[in-house]
């Protein structure tokens, strides 16, 4: 996604809501919520869901205003535009959209892009290595309260939800994520573990931990036997 996509809807001649101005107030590289959540790409997906034709979406997105308010997102497309001195009627739009719709688009996108075949086991039971497209790799760590990833997008998502408390609340209450940041590498691990939801992730993670402990104990016992003593003798020292 090009870096200027967050700016694509920052029409200077429009007065944005206070919340939007606050999001824009950060320096350009720090427009995390606008970049990750409320971008034109995501809006395109929503218009598609609402039955807009490809052509209407294409023209509409050239003239759209996406105003992120505290509790919702206001979308506006004028119903006529001036092109080469001529006034043309286009499909207009003026509506408030739930932030949940944008969070859902983000989750769906990350799930679609997640690929368990690009994973390798890490050096510990709770770690995976995710291979990027350009030979780079990231580490996913399965923690009990969430999984984390060392990639750039994960950090961006974290900052995006930090900038938007309402969106974060939605992510927390979401039956699939329960607050898990929707990073494609983490969803790849979910797929690998056959987990569809965060609750399933926690369950499978626990099973993995238990069998790791079991394996370690068995291994430890074997080593003791090789050393020529069993547990009974050991306590006698």
Is 42 among the residues that bind Zn ion (CB under 5 A)? no
Closer to Zn ion by Cβ: residue 151 or 160: 151
Nearest-approach distance from CB 147 to Zn ion, in angstroms: 9
How many residues lie near Zn ion (CB under 5 A)? 5
Closer to Zn ion by Cβ: residue 56 or 141: 141
Helix, strand, coil % in the chain, rounded to nearest 5: 50, 15, 30
Contact pattern from residue 152 through residue 181 relative to Zn ion, giving x for each residue in contact according to CB under 5 A and a dash for the rest: --x---------------------------
Nearest-approach distance from CB 59 to Zn ion, in angstroms: 34
Candidates 183, 187, 193, 201: give the one binding Zn ion (CB under 5 A): 183
Nearest-approach distance from CB 45 to Zn ion, in angstroms: 21
CB atoms within 10 A of CB 210: 10
Stretch that binds Zn ion, among 35-43, 118-126, 148-156, 166-174 (CB under 5 A): 148-156
- Alpha helices in the chain, H assignment, sequence order: 18-25, 32-36, 40-49, 54-62, 99-113, 152-163, 165-173, 184-192, 198-226, 231-236
Token pair 């939605």: residue? 170
CB 83 within 8 A of CB 93: no
Candidates 149, 160, 189, 193: give the one binding Zn ion (CB under 5 A): 149
Question: CA 141 to CA 103: how far, in whole Å?
Answer: 23
Closer to Zn ion by Cβ: residue 154 or 161: 154
Question: CA 147 to CA 136: how far, in whole Å?
Answer: 20
Question: CA 184 to CA 147: how far, in whole Å?
Answer: 11
CB 93 within 8 A of CB 76: yes
Nearest-approach distance from CB 202 to Zn ion, in angstroms: 19
Candidates 66, 73, 103, 151: give the one binding Zn ion (CB under 5 A): 151
CB 161 within 8 A of CB 153: no
Stretch that binds Zn ion, among 149-157, 199-207, 210-218, 219-227 (CB under 5 A): 149-157
Residues that bind Zn ion (CB under 5 A): 149, 151, 154, 183, 185
């Amino acid at each position: 996604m090009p870096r200027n996509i967050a700016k694509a809807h920052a029409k200077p001649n429009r007065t944005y809501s206070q919340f939007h101005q606050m999001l824009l107030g950060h320096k350009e590289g720090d427009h995390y919520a606008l970049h990750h959540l409320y971008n034109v790409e995501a809006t395109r997906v929503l218009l598609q869901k609402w039955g807009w034709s490809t052509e209407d979406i294409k023209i509409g997105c050239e003239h759209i205003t996406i105003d992120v308010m505290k509790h919702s997102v206001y979308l506006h497309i004028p119903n006529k535009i001036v092109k080469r001195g001529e006034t043309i009627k286009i499909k207009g739009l003026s509506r408030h959209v739930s932030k949940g719709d944008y969070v859902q688009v983000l989750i769906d996108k990350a799930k679609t892009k997640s690929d368990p075949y690009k994973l390798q086991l890490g050096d510990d039971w709770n770690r995976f290595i995710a291979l990027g497209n350009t030979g780079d790799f990231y580490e996913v760590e399965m923690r009990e309260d969430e999984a984390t990833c060392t990639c750039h997008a994960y950090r961006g998502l974290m900052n995006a939800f930090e900038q938007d408390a309402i969106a974060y609340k939605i992510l927390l209450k979401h039956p699939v994520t329960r607050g898990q940041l929707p990073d494609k590498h983490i969803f790849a691990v979910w797929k690998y573990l056959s987990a569809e939801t965060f609750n399933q992730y926690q369950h499978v993670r626990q099973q993995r931990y238990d069998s790791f402990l079991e394996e370690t104990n068995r291994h430890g016992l074997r080593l003791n036997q090789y050393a020529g003593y069993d547990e009974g003798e050991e306590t006698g020292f």
